[in-house]
Amino acid sequence: MPDTCERFIEHLEAMADRIGDAHSEDLQALLRRAAIRLRNPPGLILDRDVDEIVSSLAREIGMSRQEVANRIIREWFETTVEMPLQACGDRRN
């Protein structure tokens, strides 16, 4: 499983707690990863339990997490909201 946001945050906090003992190479790598994550934030931040379910479903049906999340939200709109989806910017291919 790829490094989750929560584990990354825990890693940052742990490094901050032992900054005096950290090797400069480790600190440099961690700061570079943090910069990349801040520069490229995910479009949708999910709670950990929801993220695990979406990721599992994506693997099972061969779709990306983003595609699964979009599909779930689209189907929810289509079944529960009384406005046409085109008004929400339908970008279905």
Residues in the chain: 93
pLDDT given at position 53: 92
Phi, psi angles (nearest 5°) of residue 52: -65, -40
Structural domain for 24, as ranges: 5-39
* Per-residue pLDDT at 9: 83
Domain-located, residue 74: yes
Burial of residue 69 (CB within 10 Å: 0-12, 13-18, 19+) is: buried
pLDDT reported for residue 83 = 58
Residue 84 is predicted with a pLDDT of: 62
Residue 62 lies in a domain: yes
pLDDT digits (tens, 9 = 90+) for 38-92: 777 667 777 888 889 999 999 999 998 888 988 998 888 888 876 565 555 545 5
Inside any domain, residue 24: yes
Do 56 and 35 belong together in one domain?
no
- Asked if the structure places residue 10 within a domain, the reply is yes
Is residue 82 domain-shared with residue 54, that is, in the same domain? yes
In a domain, 93, yes or no: no
Q: Is residue 30 included in any domain, yes or no?
A: yes
Distance CA 51, CA 44 (A): 10
- Please list, in sequence order, all residues whose beta carbon lies within 8 angstroms of the beta carbon of residue 51, skipping any fewer than 6 positions away: 4, 65
Structural domains counted in the chain? 2
pLDDT (0 to 100) of residue 3: 52
Specify the pLDDT at position 2: 47
